[in-house]
């Protein structure tokens, strides 16, 4: 039986209608949290909201592009309007325009792509945290998924250090698996479990750390 570490807590998870974000919202919701999920597309929000409600999770679904200043403010305002407080923010939204392209070095990356990655992956999470800060009490949790460093995730695109596998050939997949001590690809649930730990009181004496969820794959950050 799943524990209820987040009973009475309110959690915001950005980019949370699919993939890692959805699994995080689902895990925290099943542990008792009221969750606020978001996506750039209304249809995705509606679909994910209904799925979570069907599992008995109290959920508020909102449209939010994290690089849009007004939508970030609305995310915070509507969360407070609905639930009255914010206990945890999981900054999961990110982009990787280079996924699936042959160009892999930073020196070959176009300036427009670097600008987009900066806006969404770095600037937006900081500004969201800044806007939420006045409403957070001491001890609230703020988690950046980039800091968890999720490797070997079977997702359609790569996020930060997440290794894209959906479009990789069999040979490349074997190479990746050969570097993993557990000899399997990670799942979104693996990342959700790590987030649930870091956001809970069980991790109350952990701060400013990078948690590598990689199945034993060697990593250097």
Say how many C-beta atoms besides its own lie within 10 A of residue 3's C-beta: 12
Tokens for 84, please give them: 């009255």
Asked about 160 being catalytic, the answer comes back as yes
DSSP 3-state of 88? strand
Catalytic residue among 22, 77, 151, 160: 160
- Scored b (16 or more CB within 10 A) or e, 179-207 reads bbeeeebbbbebbbebbbebbbeebeeee
CA 160 to chain centre: 11
* Residues tagged active-site: 160
């Amino acid at each position: 039986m799943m524990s209820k570490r987040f009973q009475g807590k309110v959690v915001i998870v950005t980019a949370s209608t699919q993939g890692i974000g959805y699994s995080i919202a689902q895990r925290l919701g099943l542990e008792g949290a009221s969750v606020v999920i978001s996506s750039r597309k209304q249809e995705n929000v509606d679909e994910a909201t209904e799925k979570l409600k069907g599992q008995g999770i109290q959920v508020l679904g909102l449209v939010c592009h994290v690089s849009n200043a007004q939508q970030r403010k609305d995310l915070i305002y509507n969360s407070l309007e609905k639930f009255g407080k914010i206990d945890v923010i999981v900054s999961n939204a990110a982009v990787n325009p280079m996924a699936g392209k042959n160009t892999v070095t930073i020196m070959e990356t176009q300036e427009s792509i670097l600008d987009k990655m900066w806006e969404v992956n770095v600037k937006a999470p900081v500004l969201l945290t800044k806007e939420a800060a006045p409403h957070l009490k001491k001890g609230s949790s703020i988690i950046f998924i980039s800091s968890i460093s999720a490797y070997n995730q079977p997702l359609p695109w790569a996020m930060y250090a997440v290794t894209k596998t959906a479009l990789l050939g069999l040979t490349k997949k074997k190479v990746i698996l050969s570097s993993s001590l557990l000899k399997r690809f990670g799942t979104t649930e693996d990342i959700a479990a790590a987030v649930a730990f870091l956001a809970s009181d069980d991790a109350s004496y952990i701060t400013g750390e990078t948690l590598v969820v990689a199945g034993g794959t060697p990593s250097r950050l």
